[in-house]
Amino acid sequence: MAEPRRFMQVMAGPRQVGKTTLARQLMASLSHVVHFASADALATEDRQWIRQQWETARFKLSQSNSEEGLLILDEVQKVPGWSEVVKALWDKDSANQLPLKVIILGSSPLLLQRGLTESLAGRFETIPVRHWSFKEMRDAFGMSLDEYVYFGGYPGAADLRHDEERWRNYIVDSLIETTISRDILLMTQVNKPALLRQLFFLGSNYSGQILSYQKMVGQMQDAGNTTTLAHYLELLSGAGMLCGISKYAGQKVRQRGSSPKFQVMDMALMSALSNQYFEAVRSNPELWGRWVESAVGAYLINSSIEHGFELFYWRDRGREVDFIVRYQGRLLAIEVKSHKRQTALPGMDAFVKAFHPDKLLLVGGDGLDVELFLSMDAKQWLP
């Protein structure tokens, strides 16, 4: 009996976090035949592109002495009906026992996931690629903690941080605008693109803060209803840009209806749109406290993608806990302070009485050092 064919690999993550670089490094390390193709440059919808690239990989394999081959398809979600085509081709190769492995890359995890669950169930393994951590940026680029809190974790922008105008232009033009225009607006039905952009700018400005959907509507020129805003926030989150952390209440229905706590998924997005330069933010204790809390939030969001825990905030009658982690039925309450604590934490006391968390953690101030926390793997502090 023939050995069962292994799953295809799906690497999903935001733009400019290294998916293509990883794929090319893999290609360079292999001795057997490899075919790489990217749909990112397709000018129009080309429904035959995947079939053409797949046939090319098959042909290369047939003409080589390799025992197996590898096909890498980048930005595949841009091809209409991609998952159905991939399913048919994969199943045909499986039936013919063709030793062609497949890696799929995509910068829109939400759209990729939809295609995977609709057509490719049982045929793939997802490898999430997130924004770079502080430890990764420090080791690769010598970035300090303060620099990471402000400039974030985009490796392609790291060397520009000493010229803030160039850095800001790169983040806005090459990352923000490209992601919105090419990964969201061209790939999804968005009736009010101006509203989606306004929501992103508003959410980046309010990162780390709680804002009701009604207040959002009041601050936008092109206002939509709360359902539309919630949907657009989901699209921004799926593109690795901005998410809304839900309120923890122990009841799913209340979580879905709560006011979200805005959270950028990389600090570069908040800083580039702030019109506040690094030294000005760092020298302002109140501003810096916002940046530090948002940096911790971004780290938690990206860790949740990698490790599969749920992330919330909690607020009741003016008392608040910054972050609540739920993992395998256990609760961790996290408070973030950028300076030494002068007063008690009434929010933490109230949350403990109401929900009896398994673990409490203070990050910053007289608690766990921020640099140490951001350097840790989530498995070291998960409850």
How many Å separate Cα 149 from the centre of its chain?
A: 17
**Cα angle for residues 10, 13, 14 (degrees, 5° grid):** 150
Nearest to 205 by CA among 281, 271, 111, 265: 271
Distance CA 308, CA 301 (A): 10
User: Do the domain assignments include residue 252?
Assistant: yes
- Residue 1 clears pLDDT 70, i.e. is over it: no
My answer on whether 309 and 259 are in the same domain is: yes
Question: Lowest-confidence range among 3-12, 58-67, 193-202, 318-327?
Answer: 3-12
Predicted local distance difference test score (pLDDT) of residue 212: 84
My answer on whether 95 and 213 are in the same domain is: no
My answer on whether 271 and 352 are in the same domain is: yes
User: Do the domain assignments include residue 102?
Assistant: yes
Distance CA 143, CA 149 (A): 10
My answer on whether 68 and 148 are in the same domain is: no
My answer on whether 332 and 358 are in the same domain is: yes
Rounded mean pLDDT of the chain? Answer: 88
User: Do the domain assignments include residue 333?
Assistant: yes
User: Do the domain assignments include residue 34?
Assistant: yes
Q: Work out the burial of residue 122: count CB atoms within 10 Å of its CB; fewer than 13 is exposed, 13-18 middle, 19 or more buried.
A: exposed
Last residue of a domain, one of 113, 128, 143: 128
My answer on whether 261 and 211 are in the same domain is: yes
User: Do the domain assignments include residue 2?
Assistant: no
Q: What is the mean pLDDT of residues 48-72?
A: 94
CATH classification at residue 91: 3.40.50.300
- Residue 253 clears pLDDT 50, i.e. is over it: no
- Residue 67 clears pLDDT 60, i.e. is over it: yes
- Which tens digits make up the pLDDT trace of 121-170? 667 777 888 899 999 999 999 999 999 999 999 999 999 999 999 999 99
My answer on whether 116 and 142 are in the same domain is: no
Question: Lowest-confidence range among 35-44, 128-137, 158-167, 363-372?
Answer: 35-44
Which band of pLDDT confidence, cut at 50, 70 and 90, is reported for residue 96? very high
Number of domains in the chain: 2
Range of 285's domain?
A: 134-380
- Residue 218 clears pLDDT 80, i.e. is over it: no
Last residue of a domain, one of 76, 100, 128: 128
My answer on whether 74 and 95 are in the same domain is: yes
- What is the crossing angle of helices 193-205 and 226-238, to 10°? 70
Task: Classify 122 in phi/psi space as left (phi over 0), alpha (psi -120 to 50) or beta.
Answer: left
My answer on whether 115 and 263 are in the same domain is: no
Q: Which range in 106-110, 210-214, 294-298 is most confidently predicted, on average pLDDT?
A: 294-298
- Which tens digits make up the pLDDT trace of 257-277? 578 999 999 999 999 999 899
pTM of the model: 0.87
Last residue of a domain, one of 78, 108, 128: 128
- Residue 234 clears pLDDT 80, i.e. is over it: yes
My answer on whether 53 and 138 are in the same domain is: no
Predicted local distance difference test score (pLDDT) of residue 114: 65
User: Do the domain assignments include residue 154?
Assistant: yes
Predicted local distance difference test score (pLDDT) of residue 20: 87
**Percent of the chain clearing pLDDT 90 (strictly above):** 61
User: Do the domain assignments include residue 3?
Assistant: no
Question: Lowest-confidence range among 91-100, 251-260, 264-273, 327-336?
Answer: 251-260
My answer on whether 262 and 342 are in the same domain is: yes
User: Do the domain assignments include residue 26?
Assistant: yes
- Residue 255 clears pLDDT 70, i.e. is over it: no
Predicted local distance difference test score (pLDDT) of residue 107: 77
Predicted local distance difference test score (pLDDT) of residue 171: 97
Residue with more model confidence, 224 or 110: 224
Which band of pLDDT confidence, cut at 50, 70 and 90, is reported for residue 211? confident
Strands 100-106, 124-128: pairing kind: unpaired
How would DSSP label each residue in 133-190?
Answer: PHHHHHHHH---HHHHHHH-S-GGGGGGTTSHHHHHHIIIIIIIIHIIIIIIITTS--
My answer on whether 93 and 199 are in the same domain is: no
Structure tokens at 330: 């256990």
CB of 364 within 8 A of CB of 370? yes
